[in-house]
Amino acid sequence: MQETKVESPYLDYEAAARYCNLNRTTLWRAVKAGKLHAAGPGTAVRFHRDELDRWMQSRSQKK
């Protein structure tokens, strides 16, 4: 039987920065400003891909 790897829709800061092609500081500033929602305590913060997509979409519409 073949194993199927299910990729989580939740990303940590490093993976989210790569996904968005941004610096992690940019993500941190967006979270601090309340523009991007992150879940989890302290260093265990995670971003949902759908939330990252929504945030990136809102950034592109403002330009």
Query: What's the pTM value of the predicted model, to 2 decimals?
Result: 0.81
Cα 10 to chain centroid, rounded: 8
CB 46 within 8 A of CB 40: yes
Cβ contacts of 16 within 8 Å, gap of 6 or more:
24, 27, 47, 52
Predicted pLDDT at 1: 67
- Per residue of the chain (63 residues), what is the pLDDT tens digit? 677 777 889 999 999 999 999 999 999 999 999 999 999 877 789 999 999 999 999 988 876
Cα 8 to chain centroid, rounded: 12
For the chain, the domains span: 10-62
